[in-house]
A = this chain, B = another copy of it.
Amino acid sequence: MHFLKEINLKTEGFTDIIDVTPHISSFISENEIKQGWVTVFTRGSTGAVTTIEYEPNLVKDFKNAMERIAPSDMEYEHKKTWNDDNGCSHIRASVVGCSETIPVSGGKALLGTWQQVVVVDFDTGARNRTVYLSGGKT
């Protein structure tokens, strides 16, 4: 059996990091997934999904690392296409990736104690962000 849920997030952009682990827990219990999996996917080309220990200082470190991978003060060719200023956002999103899949057992996502599933909004402004949870069970 396959289950799908749409989550709508209000995000601030600029590598805003949102913990979606509680949404995953609700999804698992709503669909009574005892054993199975959940895929977390973010819609759009300036967002990403990953896991992190969700604490404010590490969140700062993650933002700093993204500045090294795709600096926000660099010139991007993308600007020539739409005059958009979010070239760095797109690159970061493509490097981190749009999906992760987490196994479920005993009715719980098999995450580590300090491992939260997060959606990252790399865009250069506040926006609404759509995230999908896609899961299955035996």
A130: shortest Cβ distance to chain B, in Å?
Answer: 8
Q: How large is the interface on A (under 10, 10 to 19, 20 to 34, 35 or more residues)?
A: 35 or more
Query: How many protomers of this protein does the assembly include?
Result: 3
Asked if A44 contacts B112 (CB within 8 A), the reply is yes
Q: Is the interface of A mostly helix, strand, loop or mixed?
A: mixed
Return the chain B residue nearest A77 by Cβ. Answer: B57
Contact A101 B50 (CB under 8 A): no
Q: Are B91 and A41 in contact (CB under 8 A)?
A: no
Q: Which residues of chain B come closer than 8 Å to A27, judged between CB atoms? A: none
Query: Mind listing 10 A-B residue pairs with CB under 8 Å?
Result: A41-B102, A45-B114, A45-B116, A50-B97, A57-B79, A58-B91, A62-B94, A69-B69, A94-B96, A112-B130
Given the complex of chains A and B, what is the CA–CA distance between A79 and B58 in angstroms?
9
Q: What residues of chain B lie closer than 8 Å to A72, measured between beta carbons?
A: none
Q: Find chain B residues with CB under 8 A from A99 CB.
A: 100-102
For residue A111, CB closer than 8 A to chain B, the reply is yes
A2, chain B: closest CB distance, angstroms: 4
